[in-house]
Amino acid sequence: MAPLIRSSLLGKRERSAVRVQELLDLSGRVAIVTGGGTHLGKAMASTLGELGAAVFLASRRGELCEQAANELRAAGIDATGLKCDVTSEPDVQALVGRVVIERGRLDVMIANAGGSFTSTYIPRASIDEFRKTLELNLTGTYVCAQAAAEVMMPRRSGKIITLGSIHGFLAADKRFYKGLNFRRSGPPYQAAKGGVINLTRALAAELGEWNIQVNCISPGQIPRADTDPAMVEKARLNNPLEVVGRPEHLKGAVALLASPAGDWITGQNIVVDGGWSIW
């Protein structure tokens, strides 16, 4: 028999004898995952769908989101792929508005869209690259969080999950990348992700009175399929578990923070890196 716990869920309403399975159930919930068409976003969208949520995958590459949504639908998940530029406030508001019109609610916003434009480094770094990296990662997260909060506040319920990085609190060791066919992100990305982590704390403080939990997930190195194999092996040996990071390694943290299981967790940065950052 599953263990019984006492928990206060969905606002101040007391519920006793809540089973763990209930805490992780997202049936009837509606979620948005930005940057949802590939890699980490796709894995996170899959997690929400597997727990019962209807999921909207959105990014500037709408065709990839629709392709990913097709794959999720084939697996029995209620998924929709849409185009949205997270740096555009009208785009994000239109996305959230469409979701609410079609489904009547928004329960989870995962502000995952991000990346690095860095190709130049100090002392000849491009300030334009710096601005673009901040705009995509930090401004985009803020725009998504604000649009989500606007529709969550009247219902006094919601989950906002941001995406940081171990490079949001660690500098990149240039020695690690020597001899590898891999472009390091550099200071612009580290500044942007550091901002996302503290923005998460600030948003949690702002939105707590409306019973909206805001948390950050900071992944370690999770290579893409086309990553230089030498880089993959070096990353494997650079964490104490000696395990290559995979998108599905984020599924547990997503399940916790998006579900009622995380109702008393807010303003936190959950690091999922195989132990990379403990050294």
Q: Which residue in this structure is represented by tokens 């996305």?
A: 95
Walk along the chain (279 residues) and give the pLDDT tens digit of each residue: 344 443 444 444 455 678 999 999 999 999 999 999 999 999 999 999 999 999 999 999 999 999 999 999 999 999 999 999 999 999 999 999 999 999 999 999 999 999 999 889 999 999 999 999 999 999 999 999 999 999 999 999 999 999 999 999 999 888 888 888 777 889 999 999 999 999 999 999 999 999 999 999 999 999 999 999 999 999 999 999 999 999 999 999 999 999 999 999 999 999 999 999 999
Total domains in the fold of the chain: 1
pTM of the full predicted structure?
A: 0.92
Long-range contacts of 92-100 (CB under 8 A, 24+ apart): 92/143, 92/144, 92/147, 93/147, 95/32, 95/56, 95/58, 95/147, 96/32, 96/147, 96/148, 96/150, 96/151, 99/30, 99/32, 99/56, 100/151
Residue 112 domain-assigned? yes
The answer to whether residue 18 is domain-embedded is no
Return the bridge partners of 159, or none. 108, 213
Domain assignment of residue 78, yes or no = yes
219 part of a folded domain: yes
Q: Which residues constitute the domain of residue 197?
A: 23-274
> Distance between CA atoms of 183 and 230, rounded to whole angstroms?
13
Which residues fall within 8 angstroms of residue 229, CB to CB, at 6 or more apart?
none
The CATH number that applies at residue 67 is 3.40.50.720
| In-domain check, residue 220 | yes
CA dist 17 → 2, 7, 10, 13 (Å): 10, 8, 15, 13
One-letter-per-residue 3-state SS of 152-219: HHHHCCEEEEEECCHHHCCCCCHHHHCCCCCCCCHHHHHHHHHHHHHHHHHHHHHHHHHCEEEEEEEE
Which residues are catalytic, by number?
189
Would residue 10 count as lying in a domain?
A: no
Look at residue 197 and tell me if it is in a domain.
yes
